[in-house]
Amino acid sequence: MLRFENVGMRYGMGPEVLRDLNFTLEPGSFHFLTGASGAGKTTLLKLMYLAHRPSRGLVHVFGRDISVTPRADLPPLRRRIGVVYQDFRLIEHLTAVENVALPLRFAGADRDETEAHVRELLTWVGLADHLDARPSTLSGGQQQRVAIARAVINRPSLLLADEPTGNVDDDIAVRLMYLFEQLNRMGTTVLIASHNEALIGRFPYPILRLEDGELQVVGSRRGAAE
Amino acid sequence: MWGRTRTDLPFDQDQSTRFLPWIVALMVLLAALAAAAALIVQRAADTWDNGLSGRMTVQIPAEDSDVAAAQSAAILTMLRATPGVISAEPLAAAAVAALLEPWLGDAAGDTDLPVPLLIDVELTPGARLDSTTLATRLSEVASGVAIDDHRVWLSGLIDLARIVELAALLVVVLIGFSAVATVIFATRSGFAVHYDIIELLHFMGARDSYVAAQFQGQAMRQGLRGGLLGAITAAALLALIGFFARDIQAAFIPPLNLDPRQWGILAIVPISAVVIAMGTARLTVLRALARMP
């Protein structure tokens, strides 16, 4: 699914913000990514959703070495990766339905068929009454669910979420985590970046911990407690 | 229905490209007027070239009318036998008097006036008759005979017309380059304004062609709006000029109204503006996107 080998990343001529990363995300796995602010979580996620190529080392995504994959071959790979951004990045002038439908449009899906699918998914995440609402009229939690629906609408193989519970209260955060678990059970590989240690501790999944640009893979917090 | 009427990029909120239809309208207006000028001058030059250059006039001095008549008959025979001459006909005295009337008034009809005999010669189209050699030959029959070959002075006028035509076409081309530069600037500006959304679409898996198509569509809408406005204004102006110029009877001034073929050629101007806007926007965006990972 996703494999990093001796990956290093620097911006321009600056210092390396990620060093010697070695890990694998197996298909169907569920991981947390944690670390202090500035540890490099967002940069690591950008490498995963192909917003950057590594400065050194090998990044394999869906069996392709990203360093040598032609640029024209990247869009289909990106369409297999769903991303929930920390700030949602919903398009303000589009409705909830239109935002969620974007990945399907990129894939050239038939509009009439997909609209029903989009409405069904938004209803599933509890937004049946806000299908045609603009993002600015929705609460933070509602926007988050639109962002999640957009990330999963075309059933991605890999789902990356950057602080998906950062803007919601604990109850909604737990419900969102259950939503991610459901998606994981349907076969999607999930990686959640969060520094909500309490929340992470409630789930039995392995943790990738970033410290000063270096990565440690540790067992689940709950597993350790047990 | 989602996506049918709205683009992914909020172009209607984009202040930086709102001026584009007005600039396109102005460019289409100027280009259409320059192209119309080129077409009118071209038609005039063609008319002069095909009409007057196919004729020449032979003058026989009328010192003695009997001698002149005899010389005229001999010269007519010689002319009609000359290769490249379709016809050679003497101008009737009344026709000559009519030509002189603007300068001499009623006295033009005075038979005592030493008016030269004139022979109107029609030449085969494209025939290049050497008037100097012909004059030498005719002088053997009648001394003092002169040939007025319109081509001599007409060629200068036609050359001038061709230069004016080329200059007008150059203006059209320069306006085209200006249009390209304006669309590049507007597209780059729009790209910068909407960069966050473009980046999002890119990372979600949108192909470059998908993003470029959004700008291309916007350029088409703006180009159509501007092109239509410019074309209507240009058509109104040209129709007005044609209307006021319809009664001008001055010699050699070409008709200033356009024929259907010329209107058809002018219709290419706004269509070209739209095509240029679309193509330029697409290429500009594709080049900008190529810098993204």
Segment B179-203, tens digit of pLDDT: 999 999 999 999 999 999 999 999 9
Quick check: is B3 in a domain? no
Residue A225 confidence (pLDDT): 41
For the cut 70, the answer to whether the pLDDT of residue A222 exceeds it is: no
The answer to whether the CB of B87 falls within 8 A of the CB of B50 is no
Spell out which residues of chain B touch residue A69, defining contact as CB-CB under 8 Å.
none
Same domain, B168 and B278: yes
Looking at the structure, tell me whether residues B42 and B162 fall in a common domain.
yes
Q: Which one-letter DSSP state was computed for residue A11?
A: S
Question: Does A81 score more than 70 pLDDT?
Answer: yes
What's the rounded Cα separation, in Å, for the pair B189 and B193?
A: 6
Instruction: Name which residue leads in pLDDT, A40 or B254.
Output: A40
Compute the Cα dihedral for B99, B100, B105, B110 and give only its sign.
negative
Counting the structural domains of chain B, the total is: 2
Q: Is residue B201 part of a domain?
A: yes
Residue B130 backbone dihedrals phi, psi, to 5 degrees: -80, 105
Q: Residue B81: what pLDDT?
A: 85
**B129 & B170 share domain:** no
Q: Are B121 and B40 part of one and the same domain?
A: no
pLDDT: which is higher, B3 or B90: B90
**Closest chain B C-alpha to A115 CA, distance in angstroms:** 8
Are B100 and B189 within one domain?
A: no
Q: Which of B1, B200, B207 is closest, CB to CB, to A89?
A: B200
In a domain, B232, yes or no: yes
Q: What is the DSSP string of B48-75?
A: HHHHGGGEEEEEE--SSHHHHHHHHHHH
pTM: 0.78
| Domain spans, chain A | 94-155
Residue with tokens 């339905």: A97
Q: Are residues B22 and B116 in the same domain?
A: no
Boundary residue ending a domain (B94, B109, B144): B144
Residue A185's CB: how many other CB atoms inside 10 A?
11
At residue B117 the predicted structure's pLDDT band, cuts being 50, 70 and 90, is confident
Q: Which of B32, B38, B30 is nearest to B169 (CA)?
A: B38
Residue B253 structural domain: 11-49+155-289
Percent of the residues in chain B that have a pLDDT greater than 90, as a whole number: 43
Note whether B74 and B165 are within 8 A (CB).
no
In a domain, B194, yes or no: yes
CB-count exposure of residue B233 (10 Å: 0-12, 13-18, 19+): middle
Q: Is residue B149 part of a domain?
A: no
The reply to whether B168 and B277 lie within a common domain is yes
- Whether B236 and B160 share a structural domain: yes
Q: Give yes or no: residues B140 and B160 share one domain.
A: no
pLDDT, average across residues A140-169: 88
Going by pLDDT thresholds of 50, 70 and 90, the confidence category of residue A201 is confident
A170 pLDDT higher than 90: no
Q: Who among A75, A80, A111 is closest to B207 (CB)?
A: A75
- The answer to whether A115 contacts chain B (CB < 8 Å) is yes
> Contact A131/A97 with Cβ under 8 angstroms?
yes
Determine which helix (DSSP H) or strand (DSSP E) holds B132, and give its type and residue range.
helix B131-139
CA distance A133 to A95: 5
Q: Which residues contact A86 (CB under 8 A, 6 or more apart)?
A: A42, A162, A163, A164, A166
Distance from CA of B209 to the nearest CA of A (A): 10
Task: Return the residue in B194, B204, B211, B287 with the most chain A beta carbons within 10 A, the one to mutate for interface testing.
Answer: B204
Domain assignment present for B73: yes
Residue B4 maps to a domain: no
Binary contact (B8, A97; C-beta < 8 A): no
- CA dist B255 to B232, B233, B262, Å? 21, 21, 13
Provide the mean pLDDT of chain B.
85
**% pLDDT > 90, chain A:** 55
Decide which of B100 and A85 is more confident: A85
Which residues of B lie closer than 8 Å to A, measured between beta carbons? Answer: 1-4, 6, 8, 10, 13, 196-197, 200-201, 203-207, 210, 290, 293
pLDDT of residue B2 exceeding 60, the answer is no
The per-residue pLDDT for B1 is 41
Q: Cβ of A11 under 8 Å from any chain B Cβ? A: no
Q: What is the mean pLDDT of residues A80-102?
A: 93
For the segment A107-135, what is each residue's pLDDT rounded down to a tens digit? 888 877 788 889 999 998 889 999 999 99
Question: What residue of B is the nearest CA neighbor of A75?
Answer: B205
Average pLDDT over residues B231-245: 91
B44 and B122 together in one domain: no
Domain final residue, candidates B144, B175, B206: B144
**Strand bridging mode A189-193 / A30-35:** parallel
- Give the separation between CA B13 and CA B16, rounded to whole angstroms: 9
Q: Residue B3: list chain A partners with CB under 8 A.
A: 98, 101, 105, 111
pLDDT per residue as tens digits for the range A202-220: 888 999 999 877 888 777 6
Closest CA to A25 of A150, A190, A151: A190
**A51 — contact with chain B (CB < 8 Å)?**
yes
Domain boundary among the residues B110, B144, B178 is at B144
- Specify if B6 maps to a domain: no
b/e map B125-156, b = 16+ CB within 10 Å: eeeebebeebeeebeebbeebebebbbeebee
- Does B264 lie in the same domain as B225? yes
Q: What share of chain A is helix, strand, coil (3-state, %, to 5)?
A: 40, 25, 35
Indicate if B280 and B161 belong to the same structural domain: yes
